[in-house]
Structure 1
């Protein structure tokens, strides 16, 4: 019996996909429930955004398991799409909360680059070795260099880690945010410029041969600037939400309608290229669900933990799911899904700790160089 499988020419056949997915969902709901505790809560605060990233991690795993590993896709095959929308929306929101579209200081790029690239480089090195040892896949030097620089081009490169396209896109969005923060305009005008620049990237990709390599960016165009917009007007939006508990329960209705619109978008809005606005139908429920969480004042420690290591999980999950799967191909799938999740959490925790050690080492080295420069007589 093989110790792992590769899904390039293989798919898992489930005799009863509905039962399998149902068991997984029920167990996860139980775990989320028993790890809930009463907390002080503010609308869309850090614990809430962290929990939402934890939910996005679960969406991501379900979605990619469905489309990459199973013979017959489960109903949640667009979970990866949901996850990226949540990640990008919270990213835009978080940047605004940190910088308010004012002149981003010098530490902006150092923080962003170290946070994104140190874990990326560690995982790329790991997967280059595992590709060579486990599946006899050798990456040429130019391909490795481009991957380490953050370029992940569909159709040109055999990417070391396919989901790392996200890092390149996020860096472009960070650059746009940084440029806009430098402009001598009011914040309202800066927001308009931010949306215009994001849609300019959309136009460039869609109307040029670049679409052959970065077409995946197109469907997420509106998400990041909408997150920034929400960051600016969060307090205003909060005042429009019902204050009484019984009234907040009515939020379930627009949440349900938005999800129906999201799933039936192509039939409801049969306009070519309208998919660029489809994420709005998911962003609205995110905001409303946050209002419901404020109502009950509970947070799940499990979701908070997943959210705290969401980037590390994102970088690690796909190769260990698709290229060298040690767990998921075994039966019963619902049991080995949790074995896979447990192993993934451990690896993500280790990756976060190693990345922090590297960051701390680089900071200490920079501090020593700075102190030496001060002590050198002029």
Structure 2
């Protein structure tokens, strides 16, 4: 426990130092800085929970699920805003350069360094069929989100139909298929509980101005308390043995009301307390959040019961994530 407390203290100090040094930038609801800071918070919660599991701390892993929900909301939001500006122009090129290539590089190097490399294992991992690590499920998930988003946009452009409803139906079909045919018996809810997160991000992007206009203090309080209570309540309910014994489809429907309401409560809260996001540590972590996710899948092997090993984990993850980010930017010919 003491090593986990040490790790938590490192993150807290980094946040507080940058909070004291905060600049005068102005955040607006779901603008670039706002979503970047949220992604920073989300990846830090994922690292925190996963490192805690490595250090023998139980009961906090659901926090990683909240972090993933936040990240998916921001991803759906970002894709919809990009579509409103540029349509589908360069959609797959960007996904290939920003998502696939970094993933392939990190998986190859990571598997080689950890002596887990097998050509079949790597190829199945690279085409998002069978993850090589316990954290690779997210890559399958986000790629399917991209495919569904792209397909729905193409369909709506040609058929002139309500794309939001098509997107929801597409994710509903995916939820049913995953729950009935592809659920992992160890964690059947892992993907299913996130099925509304990405579509919610798209919906927020489509209704951002309306949400801001109707976002009163009273409604925010209701969202924060309602989301918090709902998430915690269903988190407890889904841990009951009688619920775990239910068919996966039924228990996964309940799981939809666990991490997502907590993520909504968090966004509603910081939407009114934006000063908490005005933090260079969160913004920096958010900028390289995807790279941190990729690297931490392997750097977690450094986490042991030692102050030095925990410190090395933080440093190595940060440095390699930044190197990967800078390399990807250079490859795309963009300014950092």
TM-score bracket for the superposition, by shorter chain length = 0.7 to 0.9
Residue 37 of structure 1: aligned partner: 23
Q: 1:31 to 1:117 in 2, by over 3 A?
A: same
| In structure 1, C-alpha distance between the alignment counterparts of 2:236 and 2:111, rounded to whole Å | 43
Alignment of 1:169-180 (within 5 A): 169-180=141-152
Secondary structure of the structure 2 residue equivalent to 1:329 = coil
Secondary structure of the structure 1 residue equivalent to 2:278 = strand
**Could you tell me which of 154, 177, 194 is aligned with 1:204?**
177
Secondary structure of the structure 1 residue equivalent to 2:208 = helix
* TM-score, L = length of structure 2: 0.84
| In structure 2, C-alpha distance between the alignment counterparts of 1:275 and 1:96, rounded to whole Å | 26
* C-alpha distance after superposition, 1:276-304 (max 9, x if no partner): 2334312322331342244x496111111
Given that residues 63 and 76 in structure 1 are in contact (C-alpha distance below 8 angstroms), is that contact kept between their aligned partners in structure 2?
Answer: yes
How far is the alpha carbon of 1:179 from its aligned partner?
A: 0.9
Residue 357 of structure 1: aligned partner: 330
Given that residues 36 and 298 in structure 1 are in contact (C-alpha distance below 8 angstroms), is that contact kept between their aligned partners in structure 2?
Answer: no
| In structure 1, C-alpha distance between the alignment counterparts of 2:3 and 2:109, rounded to whole Å | 35
How far is the alpha carbon of 1:268 from its aligned partner?
A: 6.5
Q: 1:291 to 1:358 in 2, by over 3 A?
A: closer
In the alignment of these two chains, the number of paired residues is 319
Residue 206 of structure 2: aligned partner: 232
Given that residues 101 and 190 in structure 1 are in contact (C-alpha distance below 8 angstroms), is that contact kept between their aligned partners in structure 2?
Answer: no
Residue 247 of structure 2: aligned partner: none
How far is the alpha carbon of 1:173 from its aligned partner?
A: 0.9
Residue 293 of structure 2: aligned partner: 314
Given that residues 93 and 228 in structure 1 are in contact (C-alpha distance below 8 angstroms), is that contact kept between their aligned partners in structure 2?
Answer: yes
Given that residues 241 and 291 in structure 1 are in contact (C-alpha distance below 8 angstroms), is that contact kept between their aligned partners in structure 2?
Answer: no
Residue 305 of structure 2: aligned partner: 329
Alignment of 1:153-168 (within 5 A): 153=131, 159=132, 161-168=133-140
Moved more, 284-293 or 86-95: 284-293
| In structure 1, C-alpha distance between the alignment counterparts of 2:18 and 2:233, rounded to whole Å | 29
Alignment of 1:65-76 (within 5 A): 65-67=51-53, 69-73=54-58, 76=60
Q: 1:277 to 1:193 in 2, by over 3 A?
A: farther
**Could you tell me which of 330, 333, 346 is aligned with 2:319?**
346
Given that residues 59 and 79 in structure 1 are in contact (C-alpha distance below 8 angstroms), is that contact kept between their aligned partners in structure 2?
Answer: yes
Residue 265 of structure 2: aligned partner: 285
How far is the alpha carbon of 1:103 from its aligned partner?
A: 5.5
Residue 241 of structure 1: aligned partner: 215
Given that residues 48 and 290 in structure 1 are in contact (C-alpha distance below 8 angstroms), is that contact kept between their aligned partners in structure 2?
Answer: no
Residue 147 of structure 1: aligned partner: 125
Moved more, 30-39 or 194-203: 30-39
Structure 2 stretches lacking a partner, 5+ long: 244-249
**Could you tell me which of 46, 51, 57 is aligned with 2:43?**
57
Secondary structure of the structure 1 residue equivalent to 2:23 = strand
Given that residues 41 and 297 in structure 1 are in contact (C-alpha distance below 8 angstroms), is that contact kept between their aligned partners in structure 2?
Answer: no
Q: 1:32 to 1:262 in 2, by over 3 A?
A: farther
Q: State the Cα RMSD in Å.
A: 2.9
Q: 1:191 to 1:298 in 2, by over 3 A?
A: closer
Q: 1:30 to 1:201 in 2, by over 3 A?
A: same
Given that residues 61 and 79 in structure 1 are in contact (C-alpha distance below 8 angstroms), is that contact kept between their aligned partners in structure 2?
Answer: no
* C-alpha distance after superposition, 1:107-129 (max 9, x if no partner): 11111121111111110121122
**Could you tell me which of 228, 231, 238 is aligned with 1:262?**
231
Given that residues 102 and 181 in structure 1 are in contact (C-alpha distance below 8 angstroms), is that contact kept between their aligned partners in structure 2?
Answer: no
* TM-score, L = length of structure 1: 0.75
Given that residues 32 and 300 in structure 1 are in contact (C-alpha distance below 8 angstroms), is that contact kept between their aligned partners in structure 2?
Answer: yes
Structure 1 stretches lacking a partner, 5+ long: 1-13, 154-158, 362-378
Q: 1:146 to 1:360 in 2, by over 3 A?
A: farther
Higher-Rg member (1/2) = 1
How far is the alpha carbon of 1:274 from its aligned partner?
A: 1.6
Secondary structure of the structure 1 residue equivalent to 2:192 = helix
Given that residues 14 and 281 in structure 2 are in contact (C-alpha distance below 8 angstroms), is that contact kept between their aligned partners in structure 1?
Answer: no
